[in-house]
Amino acid sequence: MSTARALERAKEVGLGKVVGAYRNQIMRQFLSESILICLLSFVIAILLCWLIIPYFNDIVGKQISAGLFHEPIYIGILFLLSICFGLLAGIYPAVVLSSFNPVTVLKGKFSSNAKGQFLRKSLVIIQFVVSIALIAGTMIVSSQLGFMRDQDLGYSKDQMLVLQTDGDAKSELLKEALTNLPGVLSSSQSSSVPGGGNAIAYSELENNKGDL
């Protein structure tokens, strides 16, 4: 967005050069503005994350620690990344705008070339595509989390006892002994705990007639 809006400040640059501003001064101005905006965004993002974590934990049903905000090294890394993003966002407008001919700009005869327009439009489109993709991804993840929380697993986790036998030859005897206990409805053996172990399921799908 800053790249696309840069041309609106062409007359500002032209006037600055007329009153004696050098090209490196104009470049430092645009880079400083871009870095300050990124740093301000960094501070706001940190505050929002810190405030939203409790609500996010309620949504996902997990406890995510806010320990990141207590580690100076992580905050320092994010701080440096913000400065880098500020430099990347501001270097193109700084280089392009500082190269304008002040006489041409102030006369209103300035017009950008086709390559410059294509680059600016491409950057804006990419930015909005990424934003839409992130919003759509957030909605999909939220829907999936709701499905996992509300879906019937087919068994009651509170009424299960899991014993690790590791292929013991007497595990079948243990299964029969457990089945014969009063109050035990059933017992079974499995290579992994339901809901855990290998995430790959080897299965065959069949239709309502029982055909594979």
pLDDT per position as a tens digit, 46-100: 888 888 888 877 776 677 766 667 778 888 888 899 899 888 878 877 777 777 6
Same domain, 103 and 134: no
Q: Which residue did the predictor score with more confidence, 212 or 90?
A: 90
Mean pLDDT (the chain, rounded): 76
188 in any annotated domain? no
| Lowest mean pLDDT segment, chosen from 96-100, 150-154, 203-207 | 203-207
Pair of tokens at residue 142: 């939220």
Its pTM stands at 0.54
Pair of tokens at residue 110: 């300035």
Same domain, 11 and 98: yes
- Indicate whether 188 pLDDT > 90: no
Same domain, 131 and 83: no
Same domain, 69 and 119: no
């965004």: which residue's tokens? Answer: 41
Same domain, 69 and 134: no
Q: List, in order, residues 6 or more apart from 166 with CB less than 8 Å away.
A: none
Q: Which has the closest alpha carbon to 187: 168, 160, 166, 167?
A: 160
Same domain, 96 and 55: yes
**Distance from C-alpha of 3 to C-alpha of 94, rounded to nearest angstrom:** 9
Parent domain of 141: 112-151
Q: pLDDT category, 44, cuts 50, 70, 90?
A: very high
CB atoms within 10 A of CB 96: 19
Q: Identify the pLDDT of residue 155.
A: 67
Same domain, 39 and 87: yes
Same domain, 93 and 125: no
**Distance from C-alpha of 99 to C-alpha of 96, rounded to nearest angstrom:** 5
Q: What are phi and psi of 100, to 5 degrees?
A: -65, 145
46 in any annotated domain? yes
Mean pLDDT of 143-150: 79
Indicate the residue among 111, 139, 170 that finishes a domain. Answer: 111
Q: pLDDT category, 30, cuts 50, 70, 90?
A: confident
Counting the structural domains of the chain, the total is: 2
**Distance from C-alpha of 125 to C-alpha of 4, rounded to nearest angstrom:** 11
**Distance from C-alpha of 107 to C-alpha of 50, rounded to nearest angstrom:** 50
Q: Which residue did the predictor score with more confidence, 130 or 192?
A: 130
Same domain, 93 and 106: yes
Question: Cα dist. 170→173, 174, 180, 188 in Å?
Answer: 5, 6, 16, 14
